[in-house]
Structure 1
Amino acid sequence: MKFKYLNELLLMILKDQITTIFVQIDDFCKEFDAQIKQMKLGVLGGHKKRRSRASLMSDSEMITIMIGFHLGAHKTFKHYYQQVVCVYWRDLFPKSLSYNRFIELQQKCFVVFALFLKEKGLGKCTGISFMDSTTLKVCRNQRIHNHKVFKGLAERGKSSMGWFYGFKLHLACNEKGELLSFYLTKGNMDDRNPKHIKKMTKQLFGKLFADKGYLSKALWEMLFADGIQLFTKLRKNMKNHIMNMEDKILLRKRALIETINDELKNHCQVEHTRHRSVNNFMMNILGSLTAYCFFPKKPSLNLKKVKDGQLFLNFA
């Protein structure tokens, strides 16, 4: 009885948050649809009209449901949709589709979902940024040869935790715990690859802190030319360099982005091995990242400077 009462209480709290999220997404979807209609008038003016049948559920409703799954504590989307959305939240989504039909139609929200995350979800660079990558396993190592969903897309890679089969999710955040950019690569991609580093740091400036996996003279020179100063720890066989005490302290606080990776995996379920579609795999990543952006409290650093220039850091 206590567990059932606690579960219902959590669903009521999440219901209020879902309503707030839906308002923001619905306003963005309406603005997006208005711009698309203006573009179609000019492009398709001389072509034949095509039938555009509207779905019972709008894009904003479907996106809200996907975000709600990653905000809750449910392990499977099927149980969440059938037991929570169609039962507890029936008043919020009166025209809910069947589970199979929802899975089929959620892919059509990819463009507006990605744009919403980019325009409304991501934070702004403050001059202090952290960068790291995390593994996304698509199956267990014993099932690599039998895996078919991501055959030809996923690759074997090696991290500090050992070998895996899947992808890498590269993230950049500020000291407030807000995501600044993200990039998805194959599992065997080097973290120092200049192609994805260039795209991830396009909007960044100031100081960038990373682990030893990003240690590269060519990468440091490339970022320095773009106005970004890269800080990493040195290997044991390398000579020490002079560094300000402020930068040394911030480099030790690089665990901030590792905490974000932990929340994305353990709370938002950005990684699991039950994928049956590549498109829905991408929707799962978008839902996880967007859900994290709606967290009321994120792991962050309280930076305070006194008059003598010393820096004090506290975890919030």
Structure 2
Amino acid sequence: MISDDKITTIYFIVDEFFKEFNQVLKDYALQDQKNKKRNRKSALSESEVMTIMILFHYGAFKNLKHFYQGYVQRHMKDKFPFTVSYNRFVELQKKVNVPMAVFLKMMCLGKCTGISFIDSTPIRACHIKREKQHKTFKNIAQKGQCSLGWFYGFKLHLIINDKGEILDFILTTGNVDDREPLKSMDLHKWIFGKLFGDKGYIGKDLFEQLFIDGVHLITKIKKNMKNSLMLLQDKIMLRKRALIESVNDELKNICQIEHTRHRSFDNFVLNILSALVAYSFFDKKPSINTWSDIIDQDRLIAA
């Protein structure tokens, strides 16, 4: 279960963010004098709704309804004394979609260390055999292929550093090539140094474009390609590319970033954002030793 200190920490950070976010929104938002909307406060504040969503993805819960009704309303009354019905809570989720995205971009992303890893993972909307019967993401989700076969849904493209921290992400449809997000500066805008990826990122034009932008793309080669010289530390770090696979595994099996129970696109996006935010609060993330640490260990062993 989630410790009380962790719950308090998450709520404090989220609440402080909302104070600043609402103030900026109040100062710069355009007001319509003709069509004034009621600003009635809900029993659950926006910071409480966002905190509950983060806590759901932080723990090992599989179902949001069971988590809210069976855990929050029963065992967390001291922290959330004024809860609403589950149907009302689902409606309130839509109000924190934009704040959650801003919070993720501003507060939860890590810093580039010069060593980064990139990969994409499928986010299935439904089983591939039911793609023509699926209605929630009709005309939005697309059929794609990954190493595990065909799927129907989306792709989550991630870039992480050697500490396991997420540097940037982008969500695309399932039929988008893995190299497409890198061709624009949107995904690697804050990335520098060496970027390690799998064979799906091989491309001469992409390599040259990234090299001009200050990013050295390093991948394994295919059987029909000519071998090229590579530094020893690059070969070692390329073998450590499984680090991002571990991050994807935690996002899917712990943070529940993928499930087929979505009933609206807005809540689907919020599910993705909440899972990424929850992952950033993990005390222990998958990480590796950098090349300098490996050299230091070898020197200690030799001494």
Q: TM-score range by the shorter chain?
A: over 0.9
**Per-residue deviation at 1:45?**
8.4
Whether the aligned pair in 2 keeps the contact of 1:125 and 1:205 (CA below 8 Å) is yes
Q: CA deviation at 1:16?
A: 2.7
User: Within 1, Cα distance between the matches of 2:35 and 2:155?
Assistant: 44
Q: Which residue of 2 aligns with 1:3?
A: none
8 A Cα contact 2:256 2:275, kept in partner? yes
Partner of 2:26: 37
Provide the residue aligned with 1:26 in structure 2.
15
Could you tell me whether the CA contact under 8 Å between 2:233 and 2:291 is conserved in 1?
no
Q: How many residues were matched structurally?
A: 298
The AA in structure 1 aligned to 2:46 is D
Which of 62, 74, 95 is matched with 1:87 structurally? 74
Which residue number in structure 1 is paired with residue 155 of structure 2? Answer: 168
Q: 1:311 and 1:228 mapped to 2: Cα distance?
A: 26
Alignment pair present for 1:254 and 2:235: no
In structure 2, the residue matched to 1:120 is 107
Q: 1:232 to 1:195 in 2, by over 3 A?
A: closer
Which structure 2 segments of 5+ residues have no match? 299-303
Q: Deviations over 1:178-229 (max 9, x none)?
A: 0000000000100011566531101101110000000000110110110100
Shift of the 253–197 alpha-carbon distance from structure 1 to 2, 3 Å rule, reads farther
**Cα distance, 1:49 vs structure 2:** 4.7
Preserved CA contact (<8 Å) 2:121 2:156: yes
- The answer to whether the aligner puts 1:245 opposite 2:241 as a matched pair is no
Instruction: Please tell me the residue identity of whatever aligns with 2:22.
Output: D
Secondary structure of 2:263 counterpart:
coil
Residue matched to 2:130: 143
Amino acid at match of 1:190: D
CA, structure 1 residues 45+193, in 2 after alignment: closer, same or farther (shift >3 Å)? closer
SS at match of 1:190: coil
Residue 301 of structure 1: which of 272, 288, 297 is its match?
288
Q: Is the 8 A contact 2:255 2:275 kept in 1?
A: yes
Are 1:105 and 2:97 an aligned pair?
Answer: no
Distance 1:241 1:161 in 2: 29
TM-score for both structures, normalised by structure 2: 0.94
- Choose from 67, 81, 85 the match for 2:54: 67
How far off is 1:46 after superposition?
A: 6.4
User: For residues 196 and 119 of structure 1, do their structure 2 counterparts lie closer, same or farther at Cα, with a shift above 3 Å needed?
Assistant: farther
The 1-side partners of 2:162 and 2:287 are apart by: 6
| CA-atom RMSD in angstroms | 1.8
Counterpart residue identity of residue 21, structure 1: I
Q: CA deviation at 1:17?
A: 1.1
Q: Aligned residue for 2:301?
A: none
Give the superposition deviation at 1:239: 1.1
CA distance in structure 2 between the aligned counterparts of 1:133 and 1:194, rounded to whole angstroms? 10
Alignment partner of 2:249: what SS? Answer: helix
Instruction: State which of 217, 222, 225 in structure 2 corresponds to 1:235.
Output: 222
Does 1 or 2 have the higher relative contact order (CA < 8 Å, sep 6+)? 2
User: How far is 1:143 from its partner?
Assistant: 1.2
Given that 1:304 and 1:312 are in contact with CA atoms closer than 8 Å, whether structure 2 keeps it comes out as no
Contact 1:134 1:170 in 2 (8 A): yes
TM-score, normalised to structure 1, is 0.90
| Structure 2 Cα separation of the partners of residues 131 and 312 of structure 1 | 27
- For residues 246 and 71 of structure 1, what CA distance do their matches in structure 2 show? 35
Tell me, yes or no, if the aligned pair for 1:246 and 1:310 is still in contact at 8 Å: no
Q: What is the rounded CA distance, in whole Å, between the counterparts of 1:255 and 1:191 in structure 2?
A: 17
SS at match of 1:305: helix
Quick one: which amino acid aligns to residue 175 of structure 1?
Answer: D
Q: 1 CA distance for matches of 2:61 and 2:265?
A: 22
Judged with a 3 Å threshold, the aligned counterparts in structure 2 of structure 1 residues 280 and 46 are, in CA distance, closer, same or farther, namely closer
Q: 2:174 matched to 1:208?
A: no
Quote the Cα distance in structure 2 between the aligned partners of 1:261 and 1:85: 27
Please list the CA deviations of residues 28-81 of structure 1 after superposition, one character each: whole Å capped at 9, or x if unmatched.
Answer: 0001111111114xx438667543222221111001000111111211100000
Determine if contact 1:15/1:89 at 8 Å carries over to the other structure: no
Asked if the contact 2:179/2:201 (under 8 Å) is kept, the reply is yes
* Per-residue deviation, 1:247: 0.8
Q: Say whether the 8 Å CA contact 2:178–2:200 is kept in structure 1.
A: yes
Q: Is the 8 A contact 2:118 2:244 kept in 1?
A: yes
